[in-house]
C-alpha cells in the first residue's frame, strides 16, 4: 500500500507543486490532457497599411484618402457594410533620399476590415492585393459560434483527462474518485491560416512579396486545441 501511494504521489508531485498550490493531504492523481477539433471559419478579417510618400504632406494625404475611397467603393460594390471598415493610427514617418537626408514625409494609415460573409472573401481581398499604396497584409479567421465550440472542446478535454486518470488509478490499484481541481489552459490555434486577431491566437503580419496572393485568398480550416489539468481524488 505504501508503494502504491508513493507511485501516485510521484506522478502528481511535480505538476501540482509547479503551480505553487499546497498538495492535498489525501491520495490524489494529477493529469494533463487536451482535445482538438477542426472547424470551418465563417467570419474573416484583413488588416493592411495604406502609405503614401510625397514632399508635399497634402499630396500624401490626398493619395491616402483616394485609396480609402476606392476601398469603400469596393465594399459597396460587394455589399459589405461600411461599418465593418475601420481606419486608425494615422501617422507620419520621415523619408530619406539616397544621401540619407530627410526628404518626403510618408503618411501611413492602418486599416481593419471584417468580412462576415466569406462567400465574398475572394471578391473583396483580391482587388486589395493589387492596389497601389497598400501593403503589410494580414488575414484572420474565426467562428461566430465560438462559445459553443469552446464548450464542446472543453468537454472533450475533460473526458480525455478522466480516461488518463483511470489508467493511472488502475495501475496503482486504486479507484478514481471525484474531481478536486481543474485548471483549463487557453484555447490554441494550430491551423494554417495567416494569423488571427483574437489575443489567444497567433497573429503574423506578412507582405505580398514573401507570401503568395493565393495564401491571402484561401480560407483554411481552423484546428483548435484545448489543454486542461485535472486533479482527482483516489479512493
Mean local confidence (pLDDT), 186-208:
50
Residues with Cβ within 8 Å of residue 195, at least 6 apart in sequence? 138, 139, 140, 201, 202, 203, 204, 205, 206
Q: Which whole number is the average pLDDT over 35-48?
A: 93
- Is 50 exceeded by the pLDDT of residue 168? yes
Residue 13 has pLDDT above 50, yes or no: no
**E strand spans, 84-125:** 85-96, 102-115
Residue 229 pairs with which residues in a beta bridge? 32, 183
Per-residue pLDDT of 103-144, as tens digits, reads 567 888 999 999 999 999 999 999 999 999 999 899 888 999
Of 10 and 94, the one with more pLDDT: 94
Residue 103: the pLDDT is 56
pLDDT at residue 23, rounded to an integer: 73
Q: What are phi and psi of 41, to 5 degrees?
A: -65, 150
Helix (H, G, I), strand (E, B) or coil at 84: helix
> What's the confidence (pLDDT) of residue 202?
33
Cell 465593418 belongs to 84
Decide if 95 contacts 103 (C-beta within 8 A): yes
Q: What is the pLDDT of residue 21?
A: 58
Poorest-confidence range of 18-27, 120-129, 157-166, 221-230? 18-27
Per-residue pLDDT at 191: 63
Q: Is the pLDDT of residue 22 over 80?
A: no
Helix 146-171 and helix 2-18, axial crossing angle in degrees, nearest 10: 150
Segments of the chain assigned E as strands: 28-39, 43-54, 85-96, 102-115, 134-142, 176-184, 188-189, 222-234
pLDDT of residue 227: 95
pLDDT tens digit sequence for 47-94: 999 999 887 888 888 999 999 999 999 999 999 999 999 998 676 665
| pLDDT reading at 11 higher than 60 | no
pLDDT at 210 over 50: no
CB crowding 111-142: b at 16 or more within 10 Å, else e: bbbbbeeeeebeebbeebbeeebbbbbbbbbb
Q: Name the DSSP class of 83.
A: G
Amino acid at each position: 500500500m505504501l508503494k502504491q501511494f508513493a507511485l501516485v504521489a510521484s506522478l502528481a508531485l511535480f505538476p501540482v507543486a509547479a503551480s505553487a498550490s499546497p498538495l492535498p493531504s489525501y491520495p490524489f492523481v494529477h493529469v494533463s490532457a487536451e482535445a482538438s477539433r477542426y472547424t470551418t471559419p465563417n467570419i474573416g478579417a484583413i488588416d493592411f497599411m495604406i502609405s503614401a510618400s510625397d514632399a508635399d504632406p497634402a499630396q500624401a494625404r490626398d493619395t491616402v484618402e483616394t485609396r480609402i475611397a476606392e476601398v469603400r467603393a469596393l465594399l459597396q460594390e460587394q455589399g459589405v457594410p461600411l461599418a465593418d471598415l475601420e481606419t486608425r493610427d494615422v501617422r507620419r514617418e520621415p523619408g530619406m533620399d539616397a544621401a540619407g537626408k530627410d526628404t518626403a514625409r510618408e503618411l501611413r494609415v492602418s486599416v481593419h476590415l471584417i468580412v462576415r460573409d466569406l462567400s465574398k472573401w475572394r471578391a473583396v481581398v483580391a482587388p486589395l492585393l493589387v492596389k497601389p499604396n497598400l501593403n503589410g497584409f494580414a488575414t484572420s479567421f474565426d467562428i461566430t459560434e465560438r462559445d459553443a465550440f469552446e464548450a464542446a472542446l472543453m468537454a472533450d478535454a475533460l473526458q480525455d483527462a478522466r480516461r488518463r486518470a483511470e489508467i493511472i488509478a488502475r495501475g496503482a490499484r486504486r479507484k478514481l474518485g471525484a474531481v478536486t481541481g481543474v485548471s483549463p489552459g487557453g484555447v490554441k490555434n494550430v491551423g494554417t491560416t495567416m494569423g488571427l486577431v483574437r489575443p489567444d491566437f497567433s497573429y503574423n503580419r506578412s507582405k505580398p512579396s514573401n507570401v503568395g496572393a493565393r495564401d491571402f485568398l484561401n480560407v483554411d480550416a481552423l484546428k483548435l486545441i484545448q489543454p486542461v489539468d485535472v486533479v482527482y481524488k483516489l479512493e
